[in-house]
Chain A
Amino acid sequence: MNEHETLGERLEQQGISRRAFLKFCTAMASMMALPPSAATAIAEALIKAKRPSVIWLSFQECTGCTESLTRSHSPTLESLIFDMISLDYHHTLQAASGHGAEKSREDAMQNFFGKYLLVVDGSIPLNDGGVYSTIAGRTNLDLLEEAAKGAAAIIAVGTCAAFGGIPNAKPNPTGAVAVSDIIKDKPIINISGCPPIPAVITGVLAHYLTFGELPELDELGRPKSFYGETIHDRCYRRPFYDQGKFAKSFDDEGARNGWCLFELGCKGPTTHNACATTKWNGGTSFPIESGHGCLGCSEPHFWDAGSFYTPLSAPTANLETIAAGAAVVGAGIAVALSAADRAKKRRTQQAHEKLTVKEL
């Protein structure tokens, strides 16, 4: 297999104008918080960049991440992702099936060893030898370890691949883990979200092609340019939070006035993502704008962080039963110690020898 053509050649084949391409580069530079001059640098780098081979492995997942990416309405920035890369294996999207499909993966791994990007969506089940998710008779663990060996970098797309996601939720019957729990010797970038924002995937790829390296990451391995701020920081309803104006239910006056959804369980203050700025569906809106609080889907264990409708300041666990039990134990200790005190008092009184006048 030959080297893939450059992105410039590809765009030319697709009939994409230079103007559209420059608009894309400017948007990418803006999203990644780069200075305006970076747009030209990105354009120059991208136009010459060889389209990297990408192997996309889908493990224990719902296909929502792929759906999010492919169903973004055209023409959008996100659609350009398929022009930037050579998607050599993606078992949901590819036409090939059976042995032919697996051969395309093996060919890509062999021909672009050390150069290809490995994209993973879905978690990896480890319990019972990983039998809970297999492809072509092989476990996800086996496929991941094999594909990771020759990968230049791994992009964990979606919260399942990044942090274990919903399959990892308690009681985690399949023993689902994240990519980073298994692969330790390759650069891994986590693009979390359930699903993640398509433009973020495109942005990370654009960064990789432009600079030849992964963007700066936060402590959870997410690109800082997209996950550096919380939803709360950028929320258009933030002024209502500061003023103490909260919707108390989804159909009260506060909700109709577009007040803050904190009391209805919004996890925006603790959720790092770009939804409030990049938005969804071609910039139409994001969950809070549609009247529902943020679920915190781009954070680890978001499924186990209590009810989606419990305010962040409220406990996630039952306190009443614990407190009642503690009260009973406390009362028991007090009664027991009091009984011991009284018994001691009685013994002391009984042991007390009264002095007689004569003794004095």
Chain B
Amino acid sequence: MNQQELLDFVRGTGLQIAAAVFVLGMVYRMLHLMLLGRKKNLAAPRGTEWGPGLRTMWHRSIPSVGLTSRGYFIVISGYIFHLGFLITLLFLSQHIDLFRSVFGFGWPALSPGLITITAILTIAAMIALLVHRYTDPVKRLISDYQDYLTWTLTFLPLLTGIMLKQGIALGYQQMLIVHIITLELLMIATPFTKLVHMFTTFSARWYNGAISGFKGIKV
């Protein structure tokens, strides 16, 4: 298989496999969670579920006072990494081309310079978080192989992406192949690792809020 054939594979069949595994896995995980069969709450509701659920989804996604009680490093690095990753994924023009071809619509892109700065900050934040995870005795103790695996799977598309954009190492074709492969690995691994939190985080937040709402607790 030469490079051109490999590129055709990763843009075609490879992406189909990755998309199929991603969608199948995510639908299975989410639906399985919803169908766990919790007992119906027979108590008389003291409030609604949807409003508090949605409010909790929002509240827990923005920094709160208590969050910084142990310092700012984790909070700032965490936000930079998550927001930077999303911005890079959603606002690079080449990525929008991908979404447009799949969903049939696109949106305005940010300038390549801004995306490059965002990606560099994201990479720096990820490296800092990894170093912190490894050097902090408590975090190191509670980290298992999956934490390092998911870090690697998230880091590689960013690294190869910026290398592709800046023309660092390999040719465009080879780096494009590597970049797409890293994305496909991420897609395949997401439903079956801690990365599934990209969906479950929000449903869990909604659920917590909804429970409080049902009990009449103001959120």
Chain A interface (Cβ < 8 Å from any Cβ of B): 219-220, 230, 232-233, 242-244, 246, 262-263, 269-270, 299-302, 304-306, 310-320, 322-323, 325-327, 329-331, 333-335, 337-338, 341-342, 345
Q: State which of A300, A312, A329, A345 has its C-beta within 8 Å of the C-beta of B176.
A: A312
Q: How far is the CA of A244 from the CA of B112 in the complex (A)?
A: 6
With A263-B97, A317-B12, A335-B35 as known contacts, state yes or no: A326 contacts B112, CB within 8 Å.
no
Q: Is the CB of A230 within 8 A of B11?
A: no
Is chain A's interface secondary structure helix, strand, loop, or mixed overall?
Answer: helix
| B89 CB to nearest chain A CB (Å) | 12
Q: How far is the CA of A304 from the CA of B4 in the complex (A)?
A: 10
Q: Is the CB of B4 within 8 A of A305?
A: yes
Q: Is the CB of A331 within 8 A of B98?
A: no
Query: CB of B28 within 8 A of chain A?
Result: yes
With A270-B173, A317-B13, A331-B28 as known contacts, state yes or no: A300 contacts B2, CB within 8 Å.
yes
Residues of A within 8 A of B95 (CB): 313
Q: Is the CB of A262 within 8 A of B94?
A: yes
Query: CB of B76 within 8 A of chain A?
Result: no
Count chain B CB atoms within 10 A of each CB in A304, A306, A330 and give the residue with the most. Answer: A330
Residues of B within 8 A of A338 (CB): 31-32, 35-37
Residues of A within 8 A of B11 (CB): 305-306, 312, 314-317
A-B contact pairs, 17 of them (CB 8 A): A220-B2, A244-B111, A263-B97, A269-B173, A270-B173, A301-B5, A311-B98, A312-B94, A316-B11, A323-B20, A326-B21, A330-B25, A331-B28, A333-B28, A334-B27, A337-B32, A341-B37
Q: Is the CB of B93 within 8 A of A244?
A: yes
Q: How far is the CA of A90 from the CA of B149 in the complex (A)?
A: 61
CB proximity to A under 8 Å, residues B74-119: 93-95, 97-98, 100-102, 109, 111-113
| B117 CB to nearest chain A CB (Å) | 13
Q: Is the CB of B28 within 8 A of A330?
A: yes
Q: State which of A262, A314, A331 has its C-beta within 8 Å of the C-beta of B31.
A: A331
Residues of A within 8 A of B16 (CB): 315, 317-319, 322
Instruction: Please give me the 3 A-B residue pairs with the lowest Cβ-Cβ distance, nearest first.
Output: A330-B27, A334-B31, A338-B35
Query: CB of B128 within 8 A of chain A?
Result: no
Query: Which residue of chain A has its CB nearest to the CB of B18?
Result: A319
Q: Is the CB of B8 within 8 A of A316?
A: yes
| A294 CB to nearest chain B CB (Å) | 12
Q: Is the CB of A304 within 8 A of B8?
A: yes
With A270-B173, A327-B27, A331-B31 as known contacts, state yes or no: A315 contacts B15, CB within 8 Å.
yes
Q: Is the CB of A246 within 8 A of B93?
A: yes
Q: Is the CB of B7 within 8 A of A305?
A: yes
Residues of B within 8 A of A301 (CB): 4-5, 8
With A270-B7, A301-B8, A315-B98 as known contacts, state yes or no: A326 contacts B111, CB within 8 Å.
no
Q: Is the CB of A323 within 8 A of B4?
A: no
Query: CB of B19 within 8 A of chain A?
Result: yes
Known: A244-B109, A306-B8, A306-B12. 14 other contacts (CB 8 A): A270-B176, A300-B5, A301-B4, A304-B8, A305-B11, A315-B15, A315-B98, A315-B101, A319-B16, A326-B20, A327-B24, A330-B23, A334-B28, A341-B36
Interface residue total, chain B, C-beta cutoff 8 A: 44
Q: How far is the CA of A334 from the CA of B37 in the complex (A)?
A: 12
Query: CB of B172 within 8 A of chain A?
Result: yes
Query: CB of B171 within 8 A of chain A?
Result: yes
Q: State which of A244, A299, A305, A319 has its C-beta within 8 Å of the C-beta of B102.
A: A319
Query: Which residue of chain B has its CB nearest to the CB of A330?
Result: B27
Q: How far is the CA of A244 from the CA of B19 in the complex (A)?
A: 27
Residues of A within 8 A of B25 (CB): 330
Query: Which residue of chain A has its CB nearest to the CB of B115?
Result: A244
Q: Is the CB of B101 within 8 A of A219?
A: no
Q: How far is the CA of A330 from the CA of B21 in the complex (A)?
A: 9
Query: CB of B26 within 8 A of chain A?
Result: yes
Query: Which residue of chain B has its CB nearest to the CB of A268?
Result: B172
Q: How far is the CA of A337 from the CA of B13 in the complex (A)?
A: 29
With A305-B4, A330-B23 as known contacts, state yes or no: A243 contacts B37, CB within 8 Å.
no
Q: Is the CB of B35 within 8 A of A300?
A: no
Q: How far is the CA of A26 from the CA of B177 in the complex (A)?
A: 38
Q: How far is the CA of A148 from the CA of B44 in the complex (A)?
A: 90
With A305-B8, A327-B24 as known contacts, state yes or no: A342 contacts B37, CB within 8 Å.
yes
Query: Which residue of chain B has its CB nearest to the CB of A263?
Result: B97
| A181 CB to nearest chain B CB (Å) | 13
Q: How far is the CA of A310 from the CA of B190 in the complex (A)?
A: 27
Residues of B within 8 A of A305 (CB): 4, 7-8, 11
| A300 CB to nearest chain B CB (Å) | 5
| B104 CB to nearest chain A CB (Å) | 9
B20-58 vs A, Cβ < 8 Å mask (1 yes, 0 no): 111111111111100111000000000000000000000
Residues of A within 8 A of B94 (CB): 262, 311-313
Residues of A within 8 A of B15 (CB): 315, 317, 319
| A350 CB to nearest chain B CB (Å) | 16
Query: Which residue of chain B has its CB nearest to the CB of A271?
Result: B173
| A171 CB to nearest chain B CB (Å) | 16
